Amino acid sequence: MDSISDSDSEDAGSIPAGITCFYTYVIKSVNFSFYYKGHCRNLIERLRQHNAGHTLSIRKYVPFQIAYFEEFSTKEQAIKREKYFKSAAGRRFLKSKLI
């Protein structure tokens, strides 16, 4: 399982030049039993956006922390994995990783 904390944020920008990374991520509300799945290009910035309340549908669950993420070389791969996480099989997979 991959996880990240604020102390890892300095390493987030250390991707070699010319390599594009996309992430599929799961964030967990700190105060509620609520998980959100998504994909993005910049994981740390996306977490900041979520915690600033930019996603209206989940604003009431702020603050969030990253619970799990995977890295991909293409956006299409990240989207496919996000869709998997939202399926019944994907939810079972995540349950085994997050608990």
Query: Of all helices (H) and strands (E), which one includes residue 27?
Result: strand 22-29
Per-residue pLDDT, 2: 44
Query: What's the pTM?
Result: 0.80
Contacts of 26 (CB under 8 A, 6+ apart): 35, 36, 37, 66, 67, 68, 69, 85, 94, 98
Asked whether the predicted pLDDT for residue 30 surpasses 80, the reply is yes
What pLDDT shows up at residue 17?
Answer: 57
Q: Quote the pLDDT of residue 33.
A: 95
Domains defined for the chain, CATH in brackets: 18-98 (3.40.1440)
pLDDT digits (tens, 9 = 90+) for 33-69: 999 999 999 999 999 999 999 999 999 999 999 999 9
26, 36 in Cβ contact below 8 A? yes
Question: Chain-centre distance of CA 1, in angstroms?
Answer: 12
**pLDDT single digits (tens) 9-19:** 334 445 555 56
With residue 23 as reference, give the H or E element that holds it.
strand 22-29
